[in-house]
Amino acid sequence: MDEGRFTEAVVAAIRNAEIAGYFVLPGGSLDAVTEHFQIDVDAAAIRADLASPGGLKASHAQRRMLMILVTLCRPGLAQDLFGEDFSMLPRAVMAMDARNRGLFAELIFSYPGWHD
């Protein structure tokens, strides 16, 4: 499996959803990412937003993509933060527009966790 393809999909999804602020990135920039292992979830930023008045400061589409990325990268953390796990993926895709469905499909297809 070409893990570079998954890295590109993750970067594209973060960039498209404009949710880079919820991730720890090398050099603080998506442009510096060369492999998906360099990207980590900023759990503290997500927790702070969730606890603030009004909750997570993101649109529904941004929240869905954030939940998907956290689920793929750190499933236990997704359960802790959102009370969701892999079972939420089908529900999430049903509410997406065509562009986000395409990004979701690429994430799922290229996800290295499915391959040996």
Tell me, yes or no, whether 43 lies in a domain.
yes
* AA identity, residue 15: R
Tell me, yes or no, whether 60 lies in a domain.
yes
Tell me, yes or no, whether 20 lies in a domain.
yes
pLDDT of residue 44: 97
Tell me, yes or no, whether 86 lies in a domain.
yes
Do the beta carbons of residue 29 and residue 21 sit within 8 Å?
no
Distance CA 68, CA 48 (A): 19
Tally the domains of the chain. Answer: 1
pLDDT of residue 1: 58
pLDDT of residue 81: 93
Per-residue pLDDT of the chain (116 residues), as tens digits, is 578 999 999 999 999 999 999 999 999 999 999 999 999 999 999 999 999 998 888 888 899 999 999 988 888 999 999 988 778 888 888 888 999 999 999 998 998 877 65
Domain that holds residue 87: 3-111
pLDDT of residue 60: 87
**Residue 101 burial (CB count, 10 A):** 14
* AA identity, residue 114: W
Tell me, yes or no, whether 34 lies in a domain.
yes
Tell me, yes or no, whether 116 lies in a domain.
no
Tell me, yes or no, whether 14 lies in a domain.
yes
Tell me, yes or no, whether 25 lies in a domain.
yes
Q: What is the pTM of this model?
A: 0.90
Do the beta carbons of residue 65 and residue 19 sit within 8 Å?
yes
DSSP result, 63-92: HHHHHHHHHHH-HHHHHHHHS--GGGHHHH
